[in-house]
Amino acid sequence: MPIDLEQIKPLIAVALAEDIGPGDITSRFTVPEQASGLALVMAKQEGVLAGLGVCRQVFLTVDPELAVEQLKQDGDALGLGEVVLTIRGRTRSILAAERTALNFLQHLSGIATLTAAYVAAVSGTRARILDTRKTTPGLRALEKHAVACGGGQNHRMGLHDMVLIKDNHIEAAGGVGAAIRAVRDADHGRVTVEVEIQNHAQMEEAVAAEADIIMLDNMSPERMADACRMAWSSPARDRGRLKLEASGNVTLERVRAVAECGVDFISVGALTHSAPALDFSLRLKPLG
């Protein structure tokens, strides 16, 4: 999903206020007010780029007179030492924006890089890598953008755009079938209905009630393969309707085995809640 820079301007303002506060006292004491410079933002690791537009916007928020040029695009593969952004203008402004700008860039590029590793691991299978709602509060749109940059697919944005019936919903509704029927009766088939199941009996209920997507939660590869065979033999699968999603503790080491069970989707919370940052640095050259 693309980033709406207008929507994230308040987030940038909060991040800058957190870091700069009343002012950058180090630069005020050490950098002449009229000093100018040329800064290069470069990758210190190989990876996949995400969040460059946000990074650029941070510098322009601090000082709209800075000349900021993007040399790469989100989704690009990065080599060690590649320059992704140049900034020319007031040195104090560049230094005030530096940490916040790099924080966004490092975090989002880390997500894109980890996602790309998962996508590569399942290459050649039918499985597609999905994100989850396990995101940093306030950063969901940015983090899901980063997943897309890495080749993953975005799952639902929130509780409002898709039905996902989980164990607590099932308990409250009185069973898998009852929960699905309650949605169908209320919504008349307008929204996608996904249900989380944990055993064979629940799988049978979900197929009979015609769920659109069945999530296989924390299953062994053997049980997943059995569930896939059951789905393949159902009329709903023949009509191209029923899809299967694997979820729960899917590590990079085991994602290939999960994909080879035959699932259509694999959701990975770690993409957004545990991706290590991709390291970038800013090198400043004084211009006068």
Superfamily of domain 5-118+275-286: Quinolinate phosphoribosyl transferase, N-terminal domain (3.90.1170.20)
List the 213-217 sheet strands across, edge first: 128-130, 265-267, 243-247, 213-217, 193-197, 163-165
Superfamily of domain 162-267: Aldolase class I (3.20.20.70)
236 has a pLDDT exceeding 80: no
Cα–Cα distance list, 180 to 1, 163, 207 (Å): 29, 9, 10
| Residue 255, burial from CB neighbour count under 10 angstroms (0-12, 13-18, 19+) | buried
288 has a pLDDT exceeding 80: no
6 has a pLDDT exceeding 90: no
Residue whose entry in the numeric block shows the structure tokens 């695009």: 73
> Where are the chain's structural domains?
5-118+275-286, 162-267
More confident residue, 185 or 51: 51
Which of the 8 DSSP states describes residue 40?
Answer: E
Cα–Cα distance list, 184 to 19, 194, 211, 241 (Å): 49, 12, 10, 15
pLDDT, residue 187, reads 82
pLDDT bracket for residue 154 (50, 70, 90)? very high
Q: Transcribe 184-204 into DSSP letters.
A: HHHHTT-S-EEEEE-SHHHHH
For the chain, what percent of residues have pLDDT higher than 90?
81
pLDDT, residue 230, reads 83
Do the beta carbons of residue 268 and residue 255 sit within 8 Å?
A: yes
pLDDT, residue 3, reads 82
Tokens of 262: 């035959």
pLDDT bracket for residue 279 (50, 70, 90)? very high
Cα–Cα distance list, 23 to 13, 27, 29, 95 (Å): 14, 9, 11, 11
Q: Which residues are part of the catalytic machinery?
A: 99, 134, 166, 196, 217
240 has a pLDDT exceeding 70: no
More confident residue, 191 or 279: 279
pLDDT, residue 191, reads 87
Which of the 8 DSSP states describes residue 91?
Answer: H
239 has a pLDDT exceeding 60: no
Closest CA to 213 of 281, 263, 174, 268: 263
pLDDT, residue 35, reads 97
Contacts of 153 (CB under 8 A, 6+ apart): 128, 129, 130, 131, 147, 265
